[in-house]
């Protein structure tokens, strides 16, 4: 059975993606620091007839990332699919963005993805099989976010990292792509403390050509496509999934 690991899979886009990959026949490693939520996602996949297990993982910890991937390599000979999704987005508006807050977000959102790709790539390359999808955002990949400089910088960095890693791993038949979501109805965007909140999202939806926010499952379906053989000639790309928002600006 093919193995897939999804980071940040306890909630939101990660949870939706994990469930879709379970449906597609992967053994899904549902990884997150949120144990209760991660266990629930893995249980839901199993109850639907799929194969999954929860694994505790803080992507900000290099040793933990290496250990989780090493265990998967030992059991499955390597991952077939990696979804680097875990991220945080605390508001830290200028001029109060501190070094510590910048480092925290870059460490999780950008370096966390590096840690997973770096750990998973050797076994993928040895097998000459594997696909990686990083979750970016239009905030950084296409546009800015005024009170989230650190988040935008990390998401922009993902675009560059995906291009470079795709070039490096292509000779071994390992593909690397990214998805850049727009306004997606998740707990993150509905947070009034750190994002738009319900009222702000309702206003933002009017600016989207499709006149609605996206669903986490709609991002998960694009990720599943990029991991599949249907996308066998796509690598190094960042696919924007935003209901037409950025082309209409």
Domains of the chain: 3-180+219-234 (3.40.50.720)
Tokens of 104: 């925290």
pLDDT of residue 196: 66
pLDDT at 193 over 80: no
Tokens of 4: 């897939």
Percent of the chain with pLDDT over 70: 95
- State the chain's mean pLDDT as an integer: 93
Tell me the per-residue pLDDT of 201-222, one tens digit each, with 9 for 90 and over.
788 778 889 999 889 999 999 9
- ∠ at Cα 79 (75, 82), nearest 5°? 140
| Cβ-contact 11, 19 below 8 angstroms | no
Cα–Cα distance between 19 and 40 in angstroms, integer? 11
pLDDT at 195 over 80: no
pLDDT of residue 144: 84
Task: From 199, 213, 200, select the one nearest 241 (Cα to Cα).
Answer: 213
pLDDT of residue 147: 82
pLDDT of residue 190: 64
| Cβ-contact 9, 38 below 8 angstroms | yes
Look up tokens 């037409």; give the residue: 244
pLDDT of residue 94: 79
pLDDT-derived band at 194, boundaries 50, 70, 90 = low
Q: Which residues on neighbouring strands pair with residue 60, listed in sequence order? A: none
Cα–Cα distance between 172 and 179 in angstroms, integer? 22
Q: At a CB cut-off of 8 Å and minimum separation 6, what does 122 contact?
A: none
- Beta-strand pair 3-7/81-84: parallel
pLDDT at 71 over 80: yes
Tell me the per-residue pLDDT of 138-154, one tens digit each, with 9 for 90 and over.
998 888 888 889 999 99
Active site residues: 151
Say if pTM beats, i.e. exceeds, 0.75. Answer: yes
Tokens of 164: 């470079």
pLDDT-derived band at 188, boundaries 50, 70, 90 = confident
Q: What is the DSSP secondary structure assignment for residue 212, as one 8-state letter?
A: S
pLDDT at 157 over 90: yes
Q: What is the DSSP secondary structure assignment for residue 238, as one 8-state letter?
A: E
Kindly report whether the peptide bond that precedes residue 119 is cis, defined as omega within 30 degrees of 0. Answer: no
Tell me the per-residue pLDDT of 83-128, one tens digit each, with 9 for 90 and over.
999 999 888 877 878 999 999 999 999 999 999 999 999 999 999 9
Across 16-23, average pLDDT: 98
Beta strands in 64-107 (DSSP E): 81-84
């Amino acid at each position: 059975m093919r193995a897939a690991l999804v980071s940040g899979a306890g909630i939101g886009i990660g949870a939706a993606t994990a469930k879709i990959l379970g449906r597609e026949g992967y053994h899904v490693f549902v990884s997150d620091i949120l144990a209760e939520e991660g266990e629930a996602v893995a249980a839901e996949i199993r109850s639907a007839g799929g194969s999954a297990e929860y694994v505790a993982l803080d992507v900000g910890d290099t040793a933990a990332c290496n250990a989780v991937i090493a265990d998967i390599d030992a059991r499955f000979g390597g991952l077939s699919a990696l979804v680097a999704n875990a991220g945080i987005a605390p508001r830290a508006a200028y001029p109060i963005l501190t070094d510590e807050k910048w480092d925290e977000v870059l460490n999780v959102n950008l370096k966390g993805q590096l840690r997973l790709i770096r750990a998973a790539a050797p076994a993928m390359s040895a097998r000459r099989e594997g696909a990686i999808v990083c979750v970016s955002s239009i905030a950084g990949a296409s546009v800015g976010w005024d009170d989230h400089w650190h988040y935008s910088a990390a998401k922009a960095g993902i675009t560059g990292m995906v291009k470079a890693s795709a070039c490096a791993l292509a000779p071994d038949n390992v593909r690397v792509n990214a998805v850049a979501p727009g306004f997606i109805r998740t707990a993150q965007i509905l947070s009034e403390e750190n994002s738009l909140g319900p009222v702000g999202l309702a206003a933002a939806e009017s600016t989207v050509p499709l006149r609605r926010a996206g669903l986490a499952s709609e991002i998960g379906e694009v990720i599943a496509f990029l991991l599949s053989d249907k996308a066998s000639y796509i690598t190094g790309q960042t696919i924007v999934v935003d209901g037409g928002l950025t082309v209409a600006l």
